[in-house]
Structure 1
Amino acid sequence: MVLASQSSAIPTNIITGFLGTGKTTLIKQLLALKPATERWAILVNEFGEVGIDGAFFKGRPEDNIYIREVPGGCMCCTSGLPMQIALSQLISYAKPHRLLIEPTGVGHPKEVLATLQQPHYQDMFAIQATLTLVDARTVAQSRYRENAIYQEQLSIADVIIATKTDLYKGDEQTQLKAYLEAQELTNTPLLVLNEPLKDLAIFGSAQRCAERQRSEKEHEQAKTFSQYPQHAHPHGSPHDTSPDWQRTLEETGEVMIENAAQGFYSQGWVFSGSKIFNFKKVMNVLSGIEADRLKAVMITEKGIFGFNKVDNALTCTELDECSDSRLEIIDTQPDRVTTAVRKLQNTLFAQEA
């Protein structure tokens, strides 16, 4: 698929990192620093099937912020077709001055980069620094440090950003540096993010990006792009715009979609906007759920709120608007996900609007 040409290539950054490293938080910081006259586009790919991250960005055309979601952890499947379609729609509509791409935390960022480097995109995108976020506390856990995707995300980085530093209690930074040395990544700049970003210098802080990315990786990635395993869309995903999925939501007021890959399992729910949740019960139930990752956008009697849980810490943010309530729980244990969703279904509804 060939996109319509523009007068100049769009500066493009990939922002990657494993589940719960704070990619959405970083993008929100970047958006707060966006020049008012610039149009920015954000392409968000989620492992879960229902698409929640977009609700956390206050992206509106009047603010020159445009967002497109590709749920399902499969943005690059079928030779990158979902990604190409999403890019075409987003670029045609937004005509952005900058593009930010957030791949799923359990996806292959090399596939994203390989798609952007296809010949028909060479005049469309000016690929700048790839930013990889990492929570240094995860280095101590074998399920992270030995994970091939975790390693790939770090290896592709032009800048590695250590996040959640306020939660470090010991020598996590030392362990991270030792791990990066073992991975032969000592030449990759490491930024320890102790406070919110103050400017956009990070976009251009990796001057080695052009040389290293093109000389060391571009040839290899272009050569191996066709060798990546092709992933299939699960049936009934919201991004399939399936009439059956929409019909189920209209008829029953709720719909559930599952996904599984890379040892993780997700269960996502969409609830009709006519269902109003009890805010206090939402807080109580979500606080008690044990899962690797939890995200939700809930319409409650007190307003619309976004919930984010990682490392057993639940945060709540008031949001402006949404058309329905959505919940996504990701864990390595499917039984824990099922139990958690059952609690929500049985206790949370305050009333019917």
Structure 2
Amino acid sequence: MPIPAYLLTGLLGSGKTTVLRALLAQAPAGSRPAVLVNDFGTVGIDAAVLAGAGGAGEITVREVGGGCVCCTAAASLRAAIPALLRAARPDRLYIEPSGLAAPAAIVDLLREPALRGAIELRAVIGLVDPRRLDDERLLRAPLLRAQLELADVLLATYADVASPAQLERFRAFASTLYPPRAHIGAIAHGDFDPQWLKDITRAAQPGWRLTRSQPPAARAEHGWTFAPEVIFAAPKLTALFAGIGRDGPLAPVERAKGVLRTGRDWRLFDAVAGGGLTVSDVSWRRDSRIECIAFEDARPDWTAIGAAWRAARGETGAEGGQQGGQ
């Protein structure tokens, strides 16, 4: 049975260790949480701090040294996880990489066949100090955007000392992320609510609702999700998104948006009928998903549209796309 794992991301000084201490303090009696830390050179301090943070649980803390686990120390992480699972037999695993780590690369590594059977990545927790967002250049920094785009739970830390304007700037930015985060909030002193992790799973979920909005014009929205192992062919996707509102099964669609895995990369596709298509790299890794909006009176054939998306899978893609709105 795979061990549930949780990844904490955030720049240096964002409060990862404080939040991790709070999570460990909530460990139930008899539990055996384990932690892998990648802050090279400070693990002696981190190990002492984290090992004493548990409530009634028995905590094991290990260092992954040799550099950042997303690049130079990737091999060390591959070896450290099985060794830690064998030695400590934990019932959950927390991974705290360096604040300089590119988190998407870590998620890709954790999904490699050698590790996939041993652990199940349940959630990515992204942390940001909202006071640093006063520098708008930081919001455009690739590393910070990658960390925020990947997070399932996205939190502003230091809420007790950040100004209302700084917290509002964080919320405004977080609300623009696509797909929406499972939870967006602000905390102080690592006050993490474990309920935020309860319903998060990294498997594709059915049940996207078919929604209708009334005046000024009734629209129908439909969505599809695919497991993260499904791989799509980028040229096929580009042709489909570029063709909305023109011909074929997507002719009735006025807007389409999706994040999809294309080989090792994941891309965000955003298309508007008559308005062109934009494609950009994205750090999202939970699942591939597409949503379309059409005027109801255009009578879109959602079954045919879903078949078109599934036909865009690459030859190496897995089966298992799920359609919502049923």
1:42 is displaced (CA, Å) by: 0.3
Alignment of 1:218-233 (within 5 A): 219=231, 223-224=263-264
Aligned-partner Cα distance in 2 for 1:148–1:173: 21
Partner of 2:31: 38
- Alignment check: 8 A CA contact 2:35 2:62 kept: yes
Partner of 2:163: 169
Aligned-partner Cα distance in 2 for 1:120–1:54: 26
Q: CA RMSD in A?
A: 3.1
* Amino acid across the alignment from 1:90: L
Which structure carries more helix by proportion? 1
Aligned-partner Cα distance in 2 for 1:96–1:222: 34
Q: What's the TM-score, normalizing by structure 1? A: 0.54
Aligned-partner Cα distance in 2 for 1:87–1:170: 41
1:182 is displaced (CA, Å) by: 4.4
- Alignment check: 8 A CA contact 1:9 1:123 kept: yes
Aligned-partner Cα distance in 1 for 2:262–2:79: 20
Aligned-partner Cα distance in 1 for 2:199–2:156: 15
- Alignment check: 8 A CA contact 1:131 1:159 kept: yes
CA gap 1:218/1:170 in 2 versus in 1, 3 angstroms: farther
Alignment of 1:142-157 (within 5 A): 142-157=136-151
* Amino acid across the alignment from 1:100: Y
Q: How many residues align?
A: 217
Aligned-partner Cα distance in 1 for 2:143–2:203: 23
Aligned-partner Cα distance in 1 for 2:100–2:40: 7
Alignment of 1:270-309 (within 5 A): none
Aligned-partner Cα distance in 1 for 2:19–2:43: 22
Is the counterpart of residue 191 in structure 1 residue 191 in structure 2?
no
Aligned-partner Cα distance in 1 for 2:172–2:57: 42
Partner of 2:83: 89
CA gap 1:65/1:187 in 2 versus in 1, 3 angstroms: closer
Is the counterpart of residue 140 in structure 1 residue 180 in structure 2?
no
1:136 is displaced (CA, Å) by: 1.5
Q: What's the TM-score, normalizing by structure 2? A: 0.58
Is the counterpart of residue 9 in structure 1 residue 21 in structure 2?
no
Is the counterpart of residue 56 in structure 1 residue 40 in structure 2?
no
CA gap 1:151/1:33 in 2 versus in 1, 3 angstroms: same
Provide the secondary structure at the position in 2 that maps to 1:210: coil
Is the counterpart of residue 69 in structure 1 residue 81 in structure 2?
no
Aligned-partner Cα distance in 1 for 2:151–2:162: 22
- Alignment check: 8 A CA contact 2:66 2:73 kept: no
- Alignment check: 8 A CA contact 2:28 2:57 kept: no
1:203 is displaced (CA, Å) by: 2.6
Deviates more, 1:41-50 or 1:96-105: 41-50
Deviations along 1:147-187, one digit per CA (max 9) or x if unpaired, are: 21111111111110111100112311221122224444544
The match for 1:211 among 198, 204, 209 is 204
Partner of 1:113: 107
Aligned-partner Cα distance in 2 for 1:11–1:150: 25
Deviates more, 1:193-202 or 1:97-106: 193-202
Q: Which runs of 5+ in 2 are unaligned?
A: 206-224, 232-259, 266-326
Partner of 2:118: 124
Aligned-partner Cα distance in 1 for 2:144–2:77: 21
Q: Percent identity?
A: 31
- Of structures 1 and 2, the larger Rg is shown by 2
1:74 is displaced (CA, Å) by: 1.9
1:101 is displaced (CA, Å) by: 0.6
- Alignment check: 8 A CA contact 2:25 2:53 kept: no
Q: Which runs of 5+ in 1 are unaligned?
A: 1-7, 226-353
- Alignment check: 8 A CA contact 1:44 1:103 kept: yes
1:36 is displaced (CA, Å) by: 2.0
Partner of 1:21: 14
Higher relative contact order (CA 8 A, sep 6+): 1
CA gap 1:66/1:214 in 2 versus in 1, 3 angstroms: farther
Aligned-partner Cα distance in 2 for 1:18–1:185: 22
* Amino acid across the alignment from 2:3: I
